Amino acid sequence: MFKLKSNMGTMDRVARTMAGSTLLAVGPLTELVPTDTMSNIILSGMATVALLSAAFSYCVLYEVTGFDTCGKK
């Protein structure tokens, strides 16, 4: 099994969790925003990526760019 190197700090994880939850709640699950099927799929995908990156404390874009908000070295 491989181990992902943590590159996200606590505040980043909280922000991604809140953003992912909001995208999931406002988009496909409510009628607040009139959306079609394709935009529901896109919003759900964005929410899933945000929630998974927060859960694993790892961001692929951070890895590619060398950005790190973890704080521990």
Reported pTM = 0.82
Q: Is residue 24 part of a domain?
A: yes
User: How many domains does the structure of the chain reveal?
Assistant: 1
Structural domain range at position 50: 10-65
Q: Is residue 71 part of a domain?
A: no
**Tens-place pLDDT, residues 15-28:** 999 999 998 888 77
Count Cβ atoms below 10 Å from residue 47 Cβ, excluding itself.
21
Spatial separation of the C-alpha atoms in residues 68 and 4, rounded to whole Å: 13
**Tens-place pLDDT, residues 9-64:** 999 999 999 999 998 888 776 776 667 778 888 888 999 999 999 999 999 899 89
